[in-house]
Amino acid sequence: MDVLVCGAGVAGAALAYWLRHHGFTATVVERTPRVRAGGYAAGLRGEALDVLDRMALLEQAEALDLRLGDAAMADEYAAMPVAICAGDLEILRDDLAGLLYQATRREVEYVFGDSIATLEQTADDVRATFDRGRPRRFDLVVGADGLHSRTRSLAFGPHERFVRHLGLYTAVFGLPGHLGAEDGSRVHRVPGKAAAVLSTRDGARARAALHFASGPLAYDRDDSGQHKRIVAERFAGEGRLVRRLLEEMWGADDLFFEANAQVEMDRWFSGRVVLLGDAGYCAAPASGRGASQALIGAYILAGELAAGGGHAQAFAAYEREMRGFVAEHQHMGREGADQFFLGTPLQERLDRTTAARPHLVRLKNYAPGFAAERPSPGRTAR
């Protein structure tokens, strides 16, 4: 089976890994010229760590853990009002995507700097045209291209039908390492705004995160200069830390600017096209669970395809396995956005929410000969 995966982020690269593991051919198309830089950190726990372990990547991921070494600083880090500190393992999202890419690039065809333009389904395949490349036919197409998924728009309808804005925007960008060493774990918080400096454990890299409350904004999502102007206007007149961060922002080439929003759909597949991760069921960064959903969804989707019975049966089974899990995480995302500026530590909010809502997914052994040989980490699933 020849599968086109749209998007080379965490969801797309993880799916490519499992498709190859099960003997499928995977082609990944990504509109950016390389694996995306910048963005949030990913808080991983429970089955997401089990998935990495089954990929033999857990030890490499643990080596990239952001958290500081001593308990006092780790507690301060977890108390930040940002949804990127929410797991047993915190790893920068681009580090995670890069790790998955390196694990798959020799066996998977990656096409960077291109994206799908049209999709035409038949009873037997899907004909895809691209902005730059030649048309090609695939057995299946998977949209793993994020909140603004073009795959979703082509196969299901316009963005506005499925995306729910949660009233919060975030900008994240890299900082020189010395700023992380000086200002790491510092937080600036006023009503409707928050800023923080997040430093890697060794102090070699740092990232700024600026958040502000707002209704939906109209802007070009590819215009980084416009994004910087929006952020600068919102944070004008704030304190010394914010002024310093804004100065660094103007020179940053890795700015990530995005709304906290959720994708709500009655169905994640249509014919031979299926959605994965944020493209189909974004829980919003305020949930702290987006990367975990991507890893687990990729494992389940590929596993159900490998189980046989045809793609329609596999897609339906994948959706059944994931629906309750996604509902739980989207609830977390809405609560997290509502309480974002109230000062309650994120980890406390997530733990409280999780305790009140049962976990609704368990990993099957789709490849018993592989997974059964590796001991489960035995972590509590959330």
255-295 per-position pLDDT tens digit: 999 999 999 999 999 999 999 999 999 998 888 788 999 99
Last residue of a domain, one of 214, 242, 260: 260
In whole angstroms, how far apart are CA 319 and each of 22, 238, 275? 19, 45, 10
Task: Give the domain range for residue 355.
Answer: 2-163+262-371
Are the C-beta atoms of residues 273 and 141 closer than 8 Å to each other?
A: yes
In whole angstroms, how far apart are CA 332 and each of 90, 168, 212, 282? 18, 15, 19, 12
Q: For the chain, what is the domain count?
A: 2
What is the pTM for the complete model shown? Answer: 0.87
Residue 185 has pLDDT above 80, yes or no: no
Average pLDDT over residues 159-171: 94
- 17 and 115 share a domain? yes
- 157 and 173 share a domain? no
Residue in 360, 163, 165, 381 with CA at minimum distance from that of residue 278: 163
Residue 106 has pLDDT above 60, yes or no: yes
Residue in 83, 5, 87, 62 with CA at minimum distance from that of residue 201: 62
Q: What are phi and psi of 297, to 5 degrees?
A: -60, -40
3-17, 73-87, 264-278: range with lowest mean pLDDT:
73-87
Calpha distance 70→68 (Å, rounded): 6
- 67 and 151 share a domain? yes
Mean pLDDT of the chain: 84
- 256 and 270 share a domain? no
b/e code 247-274 from CB counts within 10 Å (16+ = b): ebbeebeebbbbbbbbbebeebbbbbbb
Last residue of a domain, one of 237, 260, 283: 260
- 11 and 128 share a domain? yes
Q: Which two tokens stand for residue 141?
A: 């197409």
Report pLDDT for 92.
84
CB-neighbour burial class of residue 202 (10 A; exposed 0-12, middle 13-18, buried 19+): exposed
